[in-house]
Chain A
Amino acid sequence: MARATEFMRVTDLHAFYGESHILHGLDFVVNKGECITLLGRNGAGRSTTLRAILGLTGRRTGSIMINGREAIALAPHRIARLGVGFCPEERGIYSSLSCEENLLLLPQLGSGGMSLDEIYEMFPNLYERRHSQGTRLSGGEQQMLAMARILRTGARLLLLDEISEGLAPVIVQRLGQIIRQLKEKGFTILLVEQNFRFAAPLADRMYIVEHGQIVSEIHQHELQEKHYLLQEYLGV
């Protein structure tokens, strides 16, 4: 029964960059429609987890089941086609393309992606800046663009890496609203965050990552009673 609602199950995931062993056997589950946050200190392996899911690290072992398909041995473009959208930490806006070209570049991965109109409704700034060169956008606009472009593709699982990093509080607030809207639209979201105050109210469940392993799982309703864990691992 639980299987039916599972979008992704990661089992004993190890990942390497060259000789260095970064992930040491992660296990976690993301259910359909959930917003999951990976919390942890810098260098704990959270971003590497997202990159390993997409096959962007070096060697990886273990199992990554996405929508019932084993993805551990697939090439990155095949993993994306299982319905995975990625918003990288460095945002990855193509400098040689305009804002709208960036939006339109990504290929369709599945049906049910948002239309350009819907996207501009959600991100009105991008409509105003649609003809600007990608790198002329402000940090906040680039972040919006990096998120917006994966919504068009029909990806149902969004991997969002440190989207609140380095942005003004008012924009972080706006991103929070957008995440809520995306949840209402049925997207499944895996969020990597350092900003606990941003992530905590959004997440259905949180996993704490330490030394490339999951050390704890906290449900939204356990936030109060497990606060000591957050203090212990994150110092918040």
Chain B
Amino acid sequence: MTDIFGVPVPALMGQLMLGLVNGSFYAILSLGLAVIFGMLNIINFAHGALFMMGAFVAWMGLNYLGIGYWWSLLLAPVVVGLFGIVIERGLLRWLYQLDHLYGLLLTFGLALIIEGLFRYRFGVSGQPYAIPEQLGGALNLGFMFLPVYRGWVIAASLAACFFTWFMIEKTRLGAYLRAATENPKLTQAFGINVPLMVMLTYGFGAALAAFAGVLAAPALQVSPLMGSNVIIVVFAVVVIGGMGSILGAIVTGLGLGVVEGLSKVFYPEVSSTVVFIIMAIVLLFRPAGLFGKEK
């Protein structure tokens, strides 16, 4: 068996794949955060809770209603997206005139409440969610075994990221969105229904988080804490990538997942802090993030 720096290739590849899987979740979540921040000026601390809700909607769908994985992949984003719209209409829209801090505090409180409710109902131990039959097993690629589900998570995440990028950069709706992000009042004065777009943006961000949650359900355990475990790293990803850059969010998310995965092979002690070390270094040299523009 060949080694690279004294590490067997299959082990290296295995961690690389795990890193890419985690990176896929980081990418989708930080993308949603970036889109929401651009449009609403709100740092959405509830994003991890929405991710967790996505996983739980899938779990509850399966266990209470017999709804399978594939339908959940479609339904959970819709359910959580509608929940997001209710949050936006009912709570967030009163905060747009205020400082960022209020949005952060409100969504942080929401995250605690949502997480608390799920902990009350389900406890903190994770619930298993089986990998769907079609995605079970592993492929022998010659140099490594690739569990099919991991490959699927990466592919589906990239597809979701590409879809989001395409919608924002290449469609008329996306052009309205970019215009409204840049100058909301004037854009509305041109006849574009900006409040509606803001509402849909938050709903879409929530749906994206829920989509990641369903993808994560079989890969991680479905637990009320799964959101808060991931959200801090995701915020670091957003800071490193730079707020408001779509491509930045995707590339940084995947890249940091890989760095985290590789650090588990070469120096496991640093694997849980490596992202924050990179964040500190990036902030020192590029305060606006790798892909952000200085204001």
Contacts and interface: CB of A to CB of B under 8 A. Distances in A.
Q: How large is the interface on B (under 10, 10 to 19, 20 to 34, 35 or more residues)?
A: 10 to 19
A75 B186 contact: no
Contact of B192 (A86, A101, A107, A150): A107
A56 interface: yes
B189 A97 contact: no
Interface stretch (A87-95, A121-129, A204-212): A87-95
B188 A76 contact: yes
Question: Could you say which of B176, B179, B191, B193 has the most chain A C-beta atoms within 10 Å of its C-beta?
Answer: B191
B186 A80 contact: no
B194 A97 contact: no
A214 B176 CA distance: 37
Contact of B179 (A55, A97, A109): A97
A150 B185 CA distance: 16
Contacts of A81: 191
B179 A77 contact: no
Interface string B174-203: 011011001101101111111100000000
A183 B280 CA distance: 60
A95 B182 contact: yes
A56 B189 contact: yes
Question: Could you say which of B176, B179, B194 has the most chain A C-beta atoms within 10 Å of its C-beta?
Answer: B179
B19 to A, nearest CB: 33
B153 to A, nearest CB: 32
A92 B187 CA distance: 9
A86 B189 contact: yes
Interface string A92-107: 1011110001000111
A79 B179 CA distance: 19
A101 B178 CA distance: 12
Contacts of B195: 75
A152 to B, nearest CB: 11
Contacts of A107: 176, 190-192
Interface string B150-192: 0000000000000000000000000110110011011011111
Contacts of B189: 54-56, 76-77, 79-80, 86, 88
Contacts of B188: 75-77, 80
A163 B98 CA distance: 32
Interface string A24-56: 000000000000000000000000000000111
Given A75-B195, A97-B175, A101-B175, A106 B182 contact: no
Contacts of B190: 77, 80, 86, 105-107, 150, 153
Given A101-B175, A153-B191, A56 B182 contact: no
Given A75-B195, A96-B182, 4 more contacts: A55-B189, A86-B186, A107-B190, A153-B191
Interface of A: 54-56, 75-77, 79-81, 86, 88, 92, 94-97, 101, 105-107, 109, 150, 153
